[in-house]
Amino acid sequence: MLSRRGFVSRIHRKKPKGKAMPERTRFANAQKSKVRSAVEHVFAHQKGLMGLFVRTIGLARAAQDRARQSRLQHAPLRLVA
């Protein structure tokens, strides 16, 4: 279905159970990983610039951490005023 529409699958192939992974499949998976890694690094960098990474577990702690970061960012402004 994908090939009829001019698309190529970018989904990794699984290793056959009880057998070694064919060299061709291993190489194809590696090529797909290279592309995915490059794209994910760009998005991770953008998220880091915007402060969208949450380094805590749970919504309550994430909200507390976000509020603490906001206070730290605005603290220098209070000292100047």
User: pLDDT (tens digit, 9 = 90+) per residue, 34-80?
Assistant: 999 999 999 988 887 777 777 777 778 777 877 777 766 666 655 55
Q: Give yes or no: residues 14 and 36 share one domain.
A: yes
Q: Tell me the HSE value of 4 on the side-chain side, using a 13 A CA sphere.
A: 1
User: In terms of pTM, does the model score above 0.75?
Assistant: no
How remote is the C-alpha of 15 from its chain's centroid?
24
Q: Give yes or no: residues 64 and 78 share one domain.
A: yes
- pLDDT value of position 78: 59
Query: What range defines the domain where residue 65 resides?
Result: 55-81
Q: Tell me the HSE value of 69 on the side-chain side, using a 13 A CA sphere.
A: 13
Q: Give yes or no: residues 59 and 43 share one domain.
A: no
Query: What is the count of structural domains for the chain?
Result: 2
- pLDDT value of position 17: 94
Q: Give yes or no: residues 60 and 74 share one domain.
A: yes
- Distance in angstroms (rounded) separating the CA atoms of residues 40 and 47: 10
